[in-house]
Amino acid sequence: ELGPMIVTAAIGQDTSLEDGDILVVTQKVISKAEGRIVDLRTVTPSERGLKLSIETERDPRLVELILRESKSLIKIDSERGIIIAETHHGFICANAGIDQSNVAGEHMVSLLPEDPDGSARRIREEVAQILGVRVAVIISDTFGRAWREGQVNFAIGVSGIDPILDYRGSLDKQGSVLKTTSIAIADELVAAGEMVMGKAEGIPVALIRGYRYQPSAGGVAYLLRDPASDLFR
Amino acid sequence: ELGPMIVTAAIGQDTSLEDGDILVVTQKVISKAEGRIVDLRTVTPSERGLKLSIETERDPRLVELILRESKSLIKIDSERGIIIAETHHGFICANAGIDQSNVAGEHMVSLLPEDPDGSARRIREEVAQILGVRVAVIISDTFGRAWREGQVNFAIGVSGIDPILDYRGSLDKQGSVLKTTSIAIADELVAAGEMVMGKAEGIPVALIRGYRYQPSAGGVAYLLRDPASDLFR
C-alpha cells in the first residue's frame, strides 16, 4: 500500500501532507506495488510477436509483451527497432510503456499500471483516511515526443484534479477573449516534478505545494485526443 | 531592453537574482520588445496565401504571415482550419507560432522572435552586466502536441543551460546502465514556469531557484529532432 508508505515518508522528512497538496508518483513505483513486473523468461511469444521481433531485431518476449499491452501499433521503425504503440488506456508511446530501468534483475521489465486513475485514487483515499487531508495525485511516466528530442514526464493517471486548465472564454490582459487556450496542467505538474525526482536517483514521489488547482472527479482520459480529431495518426 | 526591466522588477518584489537562477520568459514579451508585432491590415496576401486561406477558411492576411514564417507546412486540416507548420527555426506548431492573445488591438498578431536563443542570451548578458550574477534564460511558448489534448509550455530559446539532461551511461538504483534516457529538461522547466505565470494573468517571467542544471553554450536546436530520424513527418 503506497498511501501509508508515502505518509510515513513525508512525516519522516518533516513535510507532512496538507489540504491542496499535489503528489506526483512515478509509474515505476506503482507498477512495482501492483505486481506489474514481468520476468521475460516466463513469456512465450506468439507468431505475430516472433515476426515483429525479427523485423525490429528486438527481444521476442519483449515484443510479445508490447503487443499484449497495445490496442494498436502506431509506427514501426524496423531499422532502428522502434515500436510506437497505443496502449489499451489510449497512451501513445514507445514500447507501450514497458521498460527495464529501475527494475531489479536483468530479465525483469515493468508494465504500465492497469488502471492508473484507480492507482491515483487509491493513494488519495489512503492519505485522506490516515491524515484526513485532501490531496490530488498524478501518476507520471517519461515519454518521448513527436518532433522534439528528449523525453519529458507525462501524466498517465490523475485523481482529485482537473488535468485540463481551460482558459477558453476568459479574458487576457488586453480584454480579448482567449479562444483556444486550454492547458494540460497535469502534464506540466509532472514535468515540474522532474526537478526533484530525477531519473537515476530512484525518488518515486514529488510533493507540489501552493499551486491552486481545479478539483475534478474526471480522469486522465481528458488528456487523450480523440482519434477522430487527431492529425497525427 | 528586457534584462534591465526584469532586474528592476525582481528587486521591486524583493527577490533579487542569484547565481544559478533560471529565468523563464514568455515569447509574447520578447516579441513585443523586439517589434515582432504585425498589424494584419498591412499584410498583402500572395496567391498561395489566398488559396490556402480559402481552403482553410482563415483570414488571408494571417495565412500569408504563416506562410512567410514557415519553412514547410506539416499538416493542414481544411475542415477545422488547422495549419501545423514548421517555422524557419525548426519548431513544429500551429500557425507557425503566430497568435493574437495578449496583444493590444484586434488586428495585431505576434510573430515568434527571429532568434530566440539570441533573445535569451541578451537577457542573460544584461543581467550579468547589471548585477554580476550568472543566470540561465529560457524563452517559452505554448504549443499543442500530437495525441494529447491541451497545450503545454515548450522551450523555444535557451541560453546558459543545456536543454537536454543526458542520463545515458549513468546507473539506475539497481546498478543497471540507463540506455536511452535523455530528458528535455528545458521543456520541463518552462512547464514548471506555468505554475506561476498562467495564461490570462499576463505575468511574463518566472524565476526558478534551487535547481542545479548543466551550463552549456548550446541553444534550442538540441531539442529539435532531426527530420531524418523523425517518425512523424
| Band of residue B6 on the pLDDT scale cut at 50, 70, 90 | very high
Residue B86: all three cell numbers together:
514548421
CB within 8 Å: A103 and B174:
yes
In 10 A of CB A169, how many CB atoms?
9
**Residues B200 and A167 sit within 8 Å (Cβ to Cβ):** yes
Site of grid cell 533560471: B22
Local confidence band at A174 (pLDDT 50, 70, 90 cut-offs): confident
pLDDT higher than threshold 80 for residue A200: no
Mean pLDDT (chain A) is: 94
- Domain covering A37-111: architecture: Alpha-Beta Complex (3.90)
CATH entry, B1-35+113-217, from 3.40.50.11740, 3.30.1330.100, 3.30.1490.190, 1.10.10.10: 3.30.1330.100
Q: What is the pLDDT of residues A124-172, one digit of tens each?
A: 999 999 999 999 999 999 999 999 999 999 999 999 999 999 887 777 7
Question: How many whole angstroms from its chain centre is CA B122?
Answer: 16
What secondary structure does DSSP assign to A60-84, as a single string? HHHHHHHHHHEEEEEEEETTTTEEE
CATH topology identical between B1-35+113-217 and B37-110? no
Q: Which helix (H) or strand (E) holds A197?
A: helix A185-197
Which residues from A are below 8 Å from B147, CB to CB? 92, 146, 224-225, 230, 232-233
- Is residue B200 scored above 70 in pLDDT? no
% of chain A with per-residue pLDDT over 70: 98
Count of CB atoms within 10 A of residue A173's CB?
A: 15
- Tell me, what amino acid is at B127? V
Tell me what pLDDT residue B180 has.
Answer: 64
Residue of B nearest to A194 (CA): B188
Residue B35 burial class via C-beta count within 10 angstroms: exposed 0-12, middle 13-18, buried 19 and up: exposed
Helical residues (DSSP H) of chain B, grouped into ranges: 2-12, 27-33, 47-56, 60-69, 116-131, 185-197
Contacts of B35 by beta carbon, 8 Å cutoff, 6+ apart: none
Instruction: Name, in order, each residue with C-beta under 8 angstroms of B74's C-beta and a sequence gap of 6 or more.
Output: B84, B85, B86, B92, B233
Q: Residue A45 and residue A166: Cα distance in Å, rounded? A: 44
Hey, are the CB atoms on A75 and B231 less than 8 Å from each other? yes
Which SS3 state, helix, strand or coil, does residue B156 take?
A: strand
**Residues with Cβ < 8 Å from A91, sequence gap 6 or more?**
A97, A112, A143, A154, A156, A224
Domain A1-34+113-218 adopts which CATH fold?
A: 60s Ribosomal Protein L30; Chain: A; (3.30.1330)
Cβ pair A152:B184 closer than 8 A: yes
Per the CB < 8 A criterion, the answer to whether B83 and B76 are in contact is yes
- The answer to whether A152 contacts B191, with C-beta atoms less than 8 Å apart, is yes
For residues B182 and B184, what is the distance between their CA atoms, to the nearest angstrom?
7
Q: What is the pLDDT of residues B138-170, one digit of tens each?
A: 999 999 999 999 999 999 999 999 999 988 777
Q: Using CB atoms, which residue from B171, B224, B233 is nearest to A148?
A: B224
pLDDT confidence of A1, banded at 50, 70, 90? confident
Reading the block at residue B179, the C-alpha cell is 540506455
Distance from CA of A59 to the nearest CA of B (A): 15
pLDDT in tens, B29-88: 999 999 999 999 999 999 999 999 999 999 999 999 999 999 999 999 999 999 999 999
What does the domain layout of chain B look like in residue ranges?
A: 1-35+113-217, 37-110
pLDDT one-digit tens code per residue, B103-127: 888 899 999 999 999 999 999 999 9
Residue B179 confidence (pLDDT) above 70 = no
Burial of B173-211, coded b for 16+ CB within 10 Å and e otherwise, reads eeeeebeebbbbbbbbbbbbbbbebebeeeebbbbbeeb
How high is the pLDDT of residue B101?
83
A150/B164 CB distance under 8 A: yes
> What is d(CA B72, CA B67) in angstroms, rounded to the nearest whole number?
8
The alpha carbon of residue B199 is apart from the nearest alpha carbon of chain A, in Å, by 8
- Asked if A43 contacts A15 with a C-beta cutoff of 8 angstroms, the reply is no
Contacts of B100 in chain A (CB under 8 A): 176
Angle at B187 between CA B181 and CA B192, to 5 degrees: 115
- What kind of fold does domain B37-110 have according to CATH? CofE-like fold (3.90.1660)
Angstroms from A178 CA to nearest CA on chain B: 6
- A193's CB contacts (< 8 A; 6+ apart) are A24, A138, A140, A153, A206, A208
Average pLDDT over residues A63-74: 98
Q: Does position A47 have pLDDT exceeding 90, yes or no?
A: yes
Tell me the backbone φ, ψ of residue B232, rounded to 5 degrees: -115, 35
CA angle A20, A135, B172 (to 5 degrees): 115
Is there a contact between A149 and B184 if contact means CB atoms under 8 Å apart? Answer: yes
**In degrees, to the nearest 5, what angle opens at C-alpha B27 toward C-alphas B222 and B218?**
25
Report the C-alpha dihedral over residues A139, A145, A150, A152, rounded to 10 degrees: -20
Mean pLDDT taken over chain B: 94
> Looking at beta carbons, which residues of chain B come within 8 Å of A176?
100-102, 106
| Cell digits of residue A33 | 506495488
Q: Which residues of chain A have a CB within 8 Å of the CB of B195?
A: 188-189, 192, 208, 211
